[in-house]
Amino acid sequence: DGGITQSPKYLFRKEGQNVTLSCEQNLNHDAMYWYRQDPGQGLRLIYYSQIVNDFQKGDIAEGYSVSREKKESFPLTVTSAQKNPTAFYLCASSISVNSYNEQFFGPGTRLTVL
Amino acid sequence: AQSVTQLGSHVSVSEGALVLLRCNYSSSVPPYLFWYVQYPNQGLQLLLKYTSAATLVKGINDFEAEFKKSETSFHLTKPSAHMSDAAEYFCAVSDPGNTDKLIFGTGTRLQVFP
């Protein structure tokens, strides 16, 4: 089955620690995205990538970092610089970076800072 | 800047009743418009999208939406609600200033009562 997988489903972090969220897709999509979802705020774009070894900041990139070494993978690191990291994180992909295209979403990772 | 407004963070209907979820956007340039659905603790799934081919767009599960340029609206409807429609619904619009991006509304949670 083609799709997007995210792991882990739940993640707990102590303050001051960096954590990395995994996102893998087997849809052969060029574009990948990371969103943060908070109650009542919808989805906000953190980073996106058009192609391997290239990525752009979204609206709320501070305190986050990404890499795109392989087409299939787009991991997100939540650093200790992120002031309020507790949230639901969603990864998505699309054929290409163009808002015309449907984005396909993974099941999400819920991050809680203890 | 483009923005999207979903009126009503919560909507409740009885099973079999009409579903109406409202979405308004701000751009004077007709954008691409999307409705996504999110079931609890899952990612988003595309219901339908408008890309200027037809003003009435039909989606999955008997949902449809009508693009009204004069009202800058793209409201989502379903003639008869089913218990399985209970979920959160997001309207999204393309950003005319950055065609890489979608802007999401804050979501409307639909409850369906028997």
Q: Give the mean pLDDT of chain B.
A: 91
List of chain B residues whose C-beta atoms are within 8 Å of the C-beta of residue A101:
none
Mean pLDDT of B84-103: 86
A21 Cα to chain B: minimum distance (Å):
15
Mean pLDDT of B76-87: 97
| DSSP code per residue over A47-60 | EEEEETTEEEE-SS
Does residue A21 sit at the B interface (CB-CB below 8 Å)?
no
Does residue A98 sit at the B interface (CB-CB below 8 Å)?
yes
Has residue B99 got a pLDDT over 80?
no
Please report the pLDDT score of residue B96 as a whole number. Answer: 67
Q: Report the alpha-carbon distance of residue B80 to residue B82 in Å, rounded.
A: 7
Partner-chain contact A42 B107, CB within 8 Å: yes
Q: Among B42, B49, B105, whose Cβ lies nearest the Cβ of A42?
A: B105
Tokens found for residue B106 = 């804050």
Q: Report the alpha-carbon distance of residue B34 to residue A104 in Å, rounded.
A: 13
Q: Report the alpha-carbon distance of residue A46 to residue B18 in Å, rounded.
A: 36
Digit-coded pLDDT (tens) for A25-81? 999 999 999 999 998 888 999 999 999 999 999 999 999 999 999 999 999 999 988
Q: How far apart are the first and last CA of chain B?
A: 41
